[in-house]
Amino acid sequence: MQRKQIAEWSQPFQSLPESVFWSRVKPSPLVSPCWVDINHLLAESVAVSTLLSSDQALIAASGGEPLPEWDPIAQAYSGHQFGQWAGALGDGRGLYLGVSSNKGNAYEWHLKGAGKTPYSRSGDGRAVLRSSIREYLGSEYMNALGVPTTRALALVTSQTPVLRETVEQGATLIRLARSHLRIGHFEHVYHSRRESELRELIQFAIQQLDPELIDQTNPEEVLFDRYLDRSARLVAEWMAVGFVHGVMNTDNTALSGETLDYGPYGFVGHFDPGYVINHTDAQGRYAFGQQPHVMQWNLGCLAECLTSFVGVDTLRAMLASFPERFRHHYRQTMASRLAVTTDNPRLDLITDGLASLFSVPGTFYLEGFQWLLLDEPHGLSKRAIDQNKLISLRKIWSEEKEVDLMPKALNLAPSWMLSHWLLEEVISQANVGDYSGVVSLREDLNCGISMPSLYAERFGGSPPSAGSGYHLSCSS
């Protein structure tokens, strides 16, 4: 007997005016689709496992007839790309499907790769298997690291040929988010001088993400304060775990404080603030160490959209508080990852010591947490690590660590890395029809990041070359 489906569905985004904010879209189906993986644990928690096990689900997830609960639309937004105003963008290959709610837990559903939309411009509306696997595993890895992120629910591949540098397999991905609202949504109406639609958007954003502010008369200042804080926290988490987003354009910056739009992302090898992952980023605008500064710049674009509601001096002063907020969140996350109290006067010493220890090429920063927390860590950094520095850092840390904070810190300390060479292995197997890498790693991540992964040990054990020098193209 089938279990009753308990998630409720709604389509709140469609309450905004259609011509300005969205267009209804009929998805375009992939040829001969098949599941690569379904994230069953997430499906259970969202109460949609029955939905995804139906025969119609594969058809719907691959761009065929939508499920009755869905009402696919593409959202319109604009944005600044690489520091330049890019004008109208929008979902060129993504569809908002609606919101599922289960016991107060609401998630927006987004189907990526289901064909062209009115915002596709010259794009084909498709996503390839390679980049979809990268997003699928990348977002689940970040979630396991305790970083706010969109989640990956299901992945489909197909026989549809999609041309990138070579011909690749077309795929679709269903991802979930608290919200897909981006800074670019605000810019879209602000820069087209649509004041009344901007007001509507602000009300909508409050309802979605900050409902406690609904009854406030002038909520925009508090709202901006919240966006600043969530973004400062997000980028602090990225810096703590060595994550490089790669394309921090304002259209890829969520107002919910979730990591959004995984393109040419990656993790630093050794701790290198200058590390640039996106090979089209010749200026290094989105280098690892630039990310806090870029997030502040992006929030400056958002502040401009609010100048009809909040005084410019107030907005400037709030924006100027970003570095301090970032430092606060960075200290908080590092403290909990290192089992030290946030007010410990030696916290910065330990944090800086960790970054310095893992700034040597041949070491891997993500392994650093286990090197500090565990007496007998193993990992790829072994040959390159400075043993004397390690011993003195561990001595300082062990004098400051709090025993009751250790379980949480140990849970968040990764026992394996989602390295580029591990991803390449998973992708090359998947390209010939073997999806066991995707399934194994996703299952391992469902159990937590501190648990060893046999698959990662087997295929991620040895890097092709030491250090971070790895670049990815934007093509996806």
Given the rule CB under 6 A, which residues bind ligand AMP?
89-93, 119-120, 123-126, 247, 252, 261, 263
Q: How far is the CB of 251 from Mg ion (least distance, A)?
A: 5
Shortest Cβ distance from residue 184 to ligand AMP (Å)? Answer: 9
Nearest distance from C-beta of residue 160 to ligand AMP, angstroms: 13
Residue 93 near which of ligand AMP, Mg ion, none (CB within 5-8 Å, type-dependent): ligand AMP
Residue 120 interacts, among ligand AMP, Mg ion, none and using kind-specific CB cut-offs from 5 to 8 Å, with ligand AMP
Name which of 148, 135, 99 is nearest 476 in CA terms. 135
Nearer to ligand AMP, 91 or 444 (CB): 91
The nearer residue to ligand AMP, 114 or 315, going by C-beta atoms, is 114
> Which option in Mg ion, ligand AMP, none does residue 126 bind, with CB closer than 5 to 8 A by kind?
ligand AMP
- Residue sitting closest to Mg ion (CB): 261
Structure token digits, residue 466: 């030491």
Return residues touching Mg ion (CB under 5 A). Answer: 252, 261
Q: Which of 220/281 has CB closer to ligand AMP?
A: 281
Q: Bridge partners of 75?
A: 22
Q: Which does 263 bind (CB under 5 to 8 A by kind): Mg ion, ligand AMP, none?
A: ligand AMP
Please provide residue 113's backbone torsions phi and psi, each rounded to the nearest 5 degrees. Answer: 100, 10
Query: Smaller CB distance to ligand AMP: residue 89 or 235?
Result: 89
Instruction: Select which of 37, 210, 251, 281 is catalytic.
Output: 251
Told to judge if 348 belongs to the known catalytic residues of this protein, a careful annotator would answer no
Q: Which is nearer to Mg ion, 183 or 334 (CB)?
A: 183
Q: Which does 444 bind (CB under 5 to 8 A by kind): ligand AMP, Mg ion, none?
A: none
Q: Which does 13 bind (CB under 5 to 8 A by kind): ligand AMP, Mg ion, none?
A: none
Nearer to Mg ion by C-beta: 29 or 90?
A: 90
Say how far residue 157 (Cα) sits from the centre of its chain. Answer: 21
Residues ≥6 apart with Cβ < 8 Å to 336:
405, 408, 409, 412
Residues acting as catalytic residues? 251
